[in-house]
Structure 1
Amino acid sequence: MKEFTLTRKKSQLPYAMVLLLILVLFGIYLSRVGKILAVRWIFGIAFGFVLQRSRFCFTAAVRDPVLTGNTSLFRAVLIATTVAMVGFSYIQFAAHLSGCPVPGMIKPAGVHTLLGGIIFGIGAVLSGGCASGTLMRVGEGHLVNMIALVFFIAGSAAGAYHFGWFKENIIKFARPVFLPDILGWGAAFFGQLAFLLILYWLALWWDYNSRAE
């Protein structure tokens, strides 16, 4: 029989301290260039830390319920979406009542939306993560995600370069979709809220039944 010996992992604390020192020094440099750069630097580091510790990834949120039956990340996305929806609805409705233009990125939805979603979904599944998940795993040293990040940037650059053609030949034929204009403010708000609550309940039901099996 083979004998297995436990090897103690080398402490990574010295590397962490050096990295922390580099982050602080670079933050000080940015603060001298421009205060807003230092704020963005701190926010970016904090956001990345939260992503890494929470394992937050939109692709995993949809993938995990199918592969493992775990819906915790999917439910977290639903909660975040609900909070954002309530907040932005208040801002937009307040602007509507005051007679100001309704703020927000109200864009056309059409074939290009469906096609782009399918292509992005396939790429996210093959690479093992969405944009946030890829960046988070690159920071952890995952080689596959480093390769995915290169093609993510290349694809984004190609899409930006050809965006004019897509806009003139496909996007301009689609109409902007803003649910309050279609359903009314009340139906749009409470309809979305009810839909998200139903999805949350279904996620709990799926999680419970998957664990029971």
Structure 2
Amino acid sequence: MERERRSPQKKKKANQLPIAAILLVIIIAIGFYLGKFSPNLPMFWLFGILLGVSLRASRYCFTASMRDPILTGGTNLTKAVIVAIALATVGFAAIQYKASLAGQPIPGNISPAGVHVAVGAFMFGIGMVIAGGCASGTLMRVGEGFVMQWLSLVFFIVGSVWGAKDFNFWKPAFMDSGIKVFLPDVLGWFPALVLQFALLLALFVLADWFGNRNNPENTL
């Protein structure tokens, strides 16, 4: 007589509510402490905590959005990044258009594009894939305890400080010689926004098609 196969018992998850309550008290205490130095610091602290929770829950990462379509064929994060850029476009366009109507300088970093952008993007892309995350993904995984990301964060800081130190050399030598185009100055505000959203929509449709092609079960 064959022995009945016993289904493995699921390990009971530990109750994490006490830990969550303790962390909440600590977060609130730190917020009150930061308020002694500046009224803005508690707000920055709160937004940082909420951003970290959002990143942790969504696994949002710019590296994965560019890497996953090639490695796994998944494009969910790619589409999420495109939607985020579209939402950011609305906010930034409103702020910049308001400044334009008031005759004020257009806020934001409108930097020239050139060979330095292509070289920097290529080097940064290699580094992100090797490290397993960009700035946001690295910070998120540092909080999760990934030792590799601790090392990545150290050298990320070292590289940023080094780049800031030599920025006055790189800017006139390479950056200022690039092509500087601000679409609203060339096309006007409304046509520029139409072109921006049309390109984002085209990228979203392409990403959705590519993801469904590699994962047919996701097709409705």
Secondary structure in 1 aligned to 2:106? coil
The answer on 1:75 being equivalent to 2:79 is yes
Shift, 1:13, TM fit: 4.6
Moved more, 9-18 or 198-207: 9-18
Amino acid at match of 1:32: K
Code of the residue aligned with 2:76 in structure 1: it is S
SS in 2 for 1:109: coil
The 2-side partners of 1:55 and 1:160 are apart by 29
Match of 1:186 in 2: 190
Partner residue of 1:102 out of 106, 118, 136 = 106
- 2 CA distance for matches of 1:129 and 1:58? 8
Quick one: which amino acid aligns to residue 30 of structure 2? F
Residues in 2 aligned to 1:206 and 1:175: alpha-carbon distance in whole angstroms? 32
2:192 is the counterpart of 1:203:
no
Q: Which of 111, 122, 125 lines up with 2:115 in the alignment?
A: 111
Q: For the structure 1 residues 19 and 91, does the alpha-carbon distance in structure 2 shift closer, same or farther, using more than 3 Å as the test?
A: closer
AA at the equivalent of 1:101: P
SS at match of 1:148: helix
Distance apart, 1:112 and its partner CA: 1.6
Q: In the TM superposition, what is the alpha-carbon distance from 1:209 to its structure 2 partner?
A: 1.2
Equivalent residue letter for 2:173: N
Kindly provide the CA deviation profile for residues 139-160 of structure 1, in whole angstroms up to 9, marking residues without a partner as x: 0001111111011011111111
Distance 1:17 1:86 in 2: 37
For 1:168, the equivalent position in structure 2 comes to 172
- Matched-pair identity in %: 48
Structure 2 residue identity aligned to 1:154? V
146-155 vs 203-212, which moves further = 203-212
Question: What TM-score, normalized to structure 1?
Answer: 0.89
Any idea what the Cα deviations from partners look like across 1:74-98, whole Å, max 9, x if unmatched?
A: 1111111111112222332333334
Any residues of structure 2 matched to 1:30-179 within 5 Å, and which?
30-179=34-183
Q: Which amino acid aligns with 1:153?
A: I
- The letter of the residue matching 2:165 is Y
| C-alpha RMSD of matched pairs (Å) | 2.2
Count matched residues: 211
SS in 2 for 1:102: coil
Alpha-carbon distance between aligned partners in 2 of 1:19 and 1:154, rounded to the nearest angstrom: 30
| Partners of 2:37 and 2:107 in 1: CA distance | 32
Aligned residue identity for 1:106: I
Unaligned 5+ segments in structure 1 are: none
Deviation at 1:182, TM superposition (A): 3.1
What is the deviation of 1:8? 5.0
Give the TM-score normalised by structure 2: 0.86
2:3 corresponds to: none
Mean CA deviation greater in 148-157 or 11-20? 11-20
- Which SS does the other structure have where 2:104 is aligned? coil
Amino acid of the residue matched to residue 195 of structure 1? Answer: L
What is the letter of the counterpart of residue 87 of structure 1? Answer: G
**Distance apart, 1:14 and its partner CA:** 4.4
String of CA shifts for 1:150-172, please: whole Å, max 9, x gaps.
11011111111111111232223
The separation in 2 between residues aligned to 1:203 and 1:189, in whole angstroms, is: 21
Of stretches 12-21 and 113-122 in structure 1, the one that deviates more from structure 2 is: 12-21
Distance 1:154 1:87 in 2: 32
